[in-house]
Amino acid sequence: MKKTVKPLIGISTCIDVGARINPDRTYQFLEISYAEAVAEAGAVPCIISYLQSNLYEDIFKRIDGLLLTGGEDLPTNVPNEAAEVELVLAPEKRMAQDRALLMGALERRMPLLGICYGMQFINLHFGGTLFYDIAHQLPGSRIHKPGNLVYRHRVQIKRGSRLLSIMGRESVEVNSSHHQAVRNVGAGLTLSAECEDGVIEAIESQNDHFILGLQWHPEKAADQNRRNIFSAFTEACERFSASRI
């Protein structure tokens, strides 16, 4: 009988350059709910260490999918636009690693799931733009702000989208813990869900490559929505793994 091997999913991390823990040291950290959600879906979570070498090539020989996690702010990339609120920017070390990971996943057409910062990072890579602060740039919108996930709202999922096939319904309630958002969707991507106020909540690839970006945090809610999302991602990683043999 052929032995079934669980897919190995690489998970990016936040990087603290002396700002949170010890001013003289650099750390990596990850909220454990990401790994829990991956394991619950039947995959093996693999936290990717920060590297400054060509070892990424060896990592990509082993992992079957990439999860880009949440994090700090990203800089505005709209020409001649300067942020008028204070941003807590992700360290360049993190963004450099995420660029390397994202490029490697895209080159191999490896399944890719981006959450919050991860979704925004993917969108920027494809030439999209961001709102650097929803409250400042979209007055009158629902409450979207970092915090303890007490804020919730409904999102409408687009008909014909991959996300609709994953979720099985056109409207779901999600948590809200962000203050930046996708403004214009990048080339090759398409909007697949938005909040009642019009803020973009999900993007995905326009082709059959599994690329899914979510603005909310499904990993932090042990519900059917989380199970649907991570199960679909894991299944895509299983197919990718089988295609390598």
The residue to which tokens 């990401």 are assigned: 34
Q: What global pTM score does this model have?
A: 0.95
d(C-alpha 131, C-alpha 120), whole Å? 10
Confidence at 222, pLDDT banded by 50, 70, 90: confident
Please count the helices (runs of H) and the strands (runs of E) in the chain.
Answer: 7, 13
Q: By C-alpha distance, which of 122, 126, 131, 120 is closest to 198?
A: 131
* pLDDT digit string, tens, across residues 157-206: 999 999 999 999 999 999 988 999 999 999 999 999 999 899 999 999 99
CATH of the domain at 136: 3.40.50.880
* pLDDT digit string, tens, across residues 42-69: 999 999 998 877 788 999 999 999 999 9
Q: What is the mean pLDDT of residues 148-164?
A: 91
Domain assignment present for residue 146? The answer is yes
* pLDDT digit string, tens, across residues 79-124: 889 999 999 999 999 999 999 999 999 999 999 999 999 999 999 9
* pLDDT digit string, tens, across residues 208-220: 999 999 999 999 9
Q: What total number of domains does the chain contain?
A: 1
Domain assignment present for residue 1? The answer is no
Confidence at 75, pLDDT banded by 50, 70, 90: very high
Confidence at 148, pLDDT banded by 50, 70, 90: low
11 - beta bridge partners? Answer: 47, 67
For 186, counting Cβ atoms within 10 Å of its Cβ (0-12 exposed, 13-18 middle, 19+ buried), the class is middle
Domain assignment present for residue 2? The answer is no
Domain assignment present for residue 31? The answer is yes
Domain assignment present for residue 74? The answer is yes
d(C-alpha 165, C-alpha 109), whole Å? 20
Domain assignment present for residue 3? The answer is no
Q: In terms of residue numbers, what domain contains 146?
A: 8-244
Residue 3 has pLDDT above 60, yes or no: no
Confidence at 1, pLDDT banded by 50, 70, 90: very low
- Output phi, psi for 140, to 5 deg: 95, -5
Q: Are 49 and 242 in contact (CB under 8 A)?
A: no
Tell me the angle at which helices 92-107 and 117-125 cross, rounded to the nearest 10 degrees: 60
Domain assignment present for residue 236? The answer is yes
108 secondary structure, DSSP code = T
Domain assignment present for residue 91? The answer is yes
Within a 13 Å sphere around the CA of 167, how many CA atoms are in the beta-carbon half?
23
Token output for 207: 């082709």
175 - beta bridge partners? Answer: 152
